[in-house]
Structure 1
C-alpha cells in the first residue's frame, strides 16, 4: 500500500521530496579536494559571475554538465581565494560573489520541526541545518543578501525570489523573530527581512 504522507510531501520543480533529497545527499560522493595538495599551480582563466554563470576566457560555459563537473572540484582556500583542484593541479578561479546560487527551496513541516531543502543552480541539493547555515547579510544599498553554506567554506547566494518565499513562511508563522527553523537550527532573518 502506498505511503500517503510520501505522496503528499512537498516536492521541488524536479519532483523531489525532501526525503528524496536526503537520500540523494547520502549517496553523493564528492572528490576529496580538501586532502589534495598538488604543487602544479596556475590560473584557470575561469570566472563565476554573481548570477552563478561560469565563464572561461570571457565566454560563458554553455554545457551544464561541464559546470557541474567543475563545481565538484571547487575549493575555498584558507586565504579566501577559490581554486579548482585535482590530485595533480590547482588552478585559481575568480568568484564574484558566491560560487553557487540557491534557485529553489522546498519546505516541509512547521516551526521547530521544519526542514528546508535547497536546489542549487548546479542541481545539487543542500538541506539547511547546523552544518548548512542560512545567514542574511546586508548589502551596501541596505538590501538583504541571504547565503547558504554548502560545504568547505563554499556558499550559495539565495535567489531573491527564494528568499522572499522564506520570509513569507516566517511571517506566516508569526514568531517573535523573523526567521525559520530547519533540521533543529533557527535561522534569524533579522531586520534585513522586515
Structure 2
C-alpha cells in the first residue's frame, strides 16, 4: 500500500469537511489489504517503522479511522486498509472544566465533553503498561467505537479533583461532568 496515494485519497475524501469529521461510519468500501502503519502505546503514528512526523497528516488519518470488531482501518469512500493499534488510537493529553462539564483534548487535537455520549470506563491497561500492582485505568470514548486512554498527567490531575464514595466494599473516586458521575478509580476498602 502506497502511503502518498492513500493520503491523496483521504485528502480528496475529506476536502470541504475540515470542521466536521468525515462520515466514515457510512462508508463501506472494499478491503484493500493492510498498510504497514502502527499507532503505538504513546499515541504516535509510525509508517514502515518510521514516525509520521507531520502532525497534519496524523490528524488527517485519524479523521478517517474506523474500528470494526477488533480491527482498525483507515477508510475512504473507495478503499479500506488495515492498520495496527497497540492499545487505543488516542491519548487524552489535556482537560479543562468548562461550564458544567469536563472537556478533553486528544493528542490529535480532537475536543469533546465527558458525557453519556463520550463515556468513561475503567479497563485493564495493556501488558506493556502494567506494573506489578496494576489496577484498571480510565479510558474514554472519543467517537463511535474509538477510545482514548487518559495520559498519566491528566489522570493524576483528575484524581486531585475527584470526590469519594463507598460502593460495594470499595472506595470509588469519581468526577462529575454534565451532571453525571464518572468513576476514574477504585480503592479496596479497609
Q: TM-score range by the shorter chain?
A: 0.7 to 0.9
Secondary structure of 2:21's counterpart equals: coil
1:48 to 34, 39, 56: 39
1:107 aligned onto 2:93: no
1:14 corresponds in structure 2 to none
1:59 to 43, 50, 71: 50
Alignment of 1:24-173 (within 5 A): 28-77=19-68, 79-108=69-98, 114-139=100-125, 141=131, 142-171=134-163
The 2-side partners of 1:138 and 1:89 are apart by 33
Q: Paired residues, what number?
A: 161
Q: TM-score, normalised by structure 1?
A: 0.76
User: Whose strand fraction is larger, Structure 1's or Structure 2's?
Assistant: 2
Shift of 1:29: 1.1
The 1-side partners of 2:141 and 2:114 are apart by 8
Q: TM-score, normalised by structure 2?
A: 0.78
Asked if the contact 2:173–2:185 (Cα under 8 Å) also holds between the matched residues in 1, the reply is yes
Shift of 1:193: 10
The 2-side partners of 1:61 and 1:50 are apart by 15
- Name stretches of at least 5 consecutive residues in structure 1 with no aligned partner: 1-26
Shift of 1:104: 0.5
Shift of 1:105: 0.6
CA RMSD of aligned residues (A): 2.1
Shift of 1:192: 5.5
The 2-side partners of 1:178 and 1:38 are apart by 43
User: Whose helix fraction is larger, Structure 1's or Structure 2's?
Assistant: 1
- Name stretches of at least 5 consecutive residues in structure 2 with no aligned partner: 1-17, 167-171
Secondary structure of 1:164's counterpart equals: helix
1:178 corresponds in structure 2 to 173
